[in-house]
Amino acid sequence: MLAAGCAASDADETLGAVEQGAQPIDRLLIGKAAMYPADKSMRARLPVLDASMVERRKEAWAIVQKIVAPVTIASKSSSAPHAALARLPRFQTWYSRDDVLPMFDRLFRALPDADKKAHARFGEHAIAGVFPWNATMAPSLASYTEERRAARLRELATPAGLHSLGKDARVLMSPSYVGHVLRSYPEIAACQVPREQEDPPSATNFAPCLDGELPIDAAAVKMRWIAGSSPMPTYDTSPSSLAAKLAAGKFGDGDGHASPDENDIYTMQLTPDTSMRLAALHIMTKELRDWAWITLWWSSEPDTDFGADRPASLGSPWGHYKMCVVTSYEEKDMAARMDAADPSSWCSNPYLEQGEHAAKTSCIGCHQHGGTAETTESILAAPERFPRGGRTKVRKNFPADYAFTTSAGLDLAAEIRAKIDALTPW
Ligand code: HEC
Gap from CA of 192 to ligand 1 centroid (Å):
22
- pLDDT for 319: 98
State the average pLDDT over residues 391-408: 96
Gap from CA of 206 to ligand 1 centroid (Å):
19
Gap from CA of 296 to ligand 1 centroid (Å):
13
Considering the chain, what percentage of its residues have pLDDT values greater than 70?
92
- pLDDT for 338: 83
The binding-site residues of ligand 1, defined as CB within 6 angstroms of any ligand atom, are: 170-171, 220-222, 282-284, 293-295, 347-349, 353, 361, 363, 366-367, 370, 375-376, 379-380, 390, 403-405, 408-409
Gap from CA of 363 to ligand 1 centroid (Å):
7
Nearest CA to ligand 1 atom 17: 409
Nearest CA to ligand 1 atom 6: 363
Nearest CA to ligand 1 atom 21: 222
Nearest CA to ligand 1 atom 42: 376
User: pLDDT tens digits for 375-387?
Assistant: 999 999 999 999 9
Nearest CA to ligand 1 atom 3: 366
- pLDDT for 426: 83
Nearest CA to ligand 1 atom 40: 363
Gap from CA of 230 to ligand 1 centroid (Å):
27
Return the sign of the alpha-carbon dihedral for residues 407, 412, 415, 417. negative
Which atom of ligand 1 is found nearest the CA of 362?
5
Nearest CA to ligand 1 atom 23: 222
State the average pLDDT over residues 152-159: 92
- pLDDT for 5: 37
What is the rounded distance in angstroms from the CA atom of residue 216 to the CA atom of residue 218?
6
Of 211, 12, 15, 8, nearest to 103 by C-alpha is: 15
Whether pLDDT at 228 is above 90: no
Gap from CA of 221 to ligand 1 centroid (Å):
9
- pLDDT for 86: 86
Q: Report whether 64 contacts 294 (CB < 8 A).
A: yes
Gap from CA of 367 to ligand 1 centroid (Å):
7
What is the rounded distance in angstroms from the CA atom of residue 290 to the CA atom of residue 329?
9
Nearest CA to ligand 1 atom 31: 222
Whether pLDDT at 11 is above 50: no
Mean pLDDT, all residues of the chain: 92
Of 188, 221, 189, nearest to 207 by C-alpha is: 188
Q: Report whether 298 contacts 279 (CB < 8 A).
A: yes
Nearest CA to ligand 1 atom 37: 363
User: pLDDT tens digits for 323-344?
Assistant: 999 999 999 999 999 888 999 9
Of 10, 80, 37, 25, nearest to 2 by C-alpha is: 10
Which atom of ligand 1 is found nearest the CA of 361?
5
Mutate to test the pocket of ligand 1, among 172, 178, 222 (most ligand atoms within 8 A of CB): 222
User: pLDDT tens digits for 271-293?
Assistant: 999 999 999 999 999 999 999 99
Nearest CA to ligand 1 atom 1: 376
Q: Report whether 295 contacts 283 (CB < 8 A).
A: yes
State the average pLDDT over residues 58-65: 98
What's the start-to-end Cα distance of the chain, in Å?
A: 34
Gap from CA of 285 to ligand 1 centroid (Å):
12
What is the rounded distance in angstroms from the CA atom of residue 263 to the CA atom of residue 350?
22
- pLDDT for 22: 60
State the average pLDDT over residues 160-172: 95
Whether pLDDT at 26 is above 50: yes
What is the rounded distance in angstroms from the CA atom of residue 89 to the CA atom of residue 46?
27
Gap from CA of 409 to ligand 1 centroid (Å):
8
